[in-house]
């Protein structure tokens, strides 16, 4: 596959990622809210005609988070805690490599460019064609505020 074709595939994948990621984020935030609104507890499961739901609580040991661990350490060893917090706050130099990509002026991706990426994701051709227009509409609405050149971190 030529570099031109691979870059077209990269741009199509990036543009499809925008609305799908946005929808995914909204769904991930909605699920806990909807579940809490059920008002269920461990003693009150729900069994309906088509669905069921129950609440289970697992008592497990869980490792303390880094922030909590540092706070606890700083309480016990204030002098060393300040040193540790200083190390953490220190700016660390690191190298990142990005590939920047975009469309040339007046050029556009075709429906086939997007459909190819969608079939690579596992959609059959019919499903990809049915999803194409709604995804493009969502992508255009979301990406209006974004610049045309995009990048991806590769190292």
109 near 135, Cβ under 8 Å?
no
At 133 the three-state DSSP class reads helix
- Per-residue pLDDT tens digits for 26-52: 899 999 999 989 988 888 889 989 989
1 near 121, Cβ under 8 Å?
no
Q: Is the pTM of this model over 0.75?
A: no
Closest C-alpha among 59, 52, 90, 87 to residue 73: 87
Strands 98-101 and 150-153: antiparallel
Rg (CA), the chain: 24
In this structure, what token pair is assigned to residue 121? 């994701």
Closest C-alpha among 25, 14, 4 to residue 114: 14
In this structure, what token pair is assigned to residue 123? 């959609």
- Per-residue pLDDT tens digits for 79-120: 998 898 888 878 777 788 888 888 888 888 899 999 999 999
């Amino acid at each position: 596959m030529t570099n031109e074709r691979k870059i077209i595939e990269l741009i199509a994948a990036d543009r499809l990622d925008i609305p799908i990621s946005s929808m995914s984020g909204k769904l991930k935030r909605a699920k806990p809210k909807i579940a809490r609104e059920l008002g269920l507890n461990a003693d009150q499961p729900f069994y309906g005609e088509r669905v069921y739901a129950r609440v289970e609580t697992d008592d497990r040991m869980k490792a303390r988070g880094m922030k909590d661990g540092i706070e606890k350490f700083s309480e016990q060893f204030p002098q060393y805690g300040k040193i540790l917090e200083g190390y953490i706050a220190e700016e660390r130099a690191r190298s990142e490599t990005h590939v920047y990509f975009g469309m040339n002026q007046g050029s556009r991706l075709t429906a086939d460019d997007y459909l190819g990426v969608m079939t690579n994701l596992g959609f059959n051709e019919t499903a990809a064609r049915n999803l194409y227009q709604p995804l493009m509409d969502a992508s255009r609405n979301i990406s209006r505020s974004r610049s045309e050149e995009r990048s991806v971190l590769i190292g």
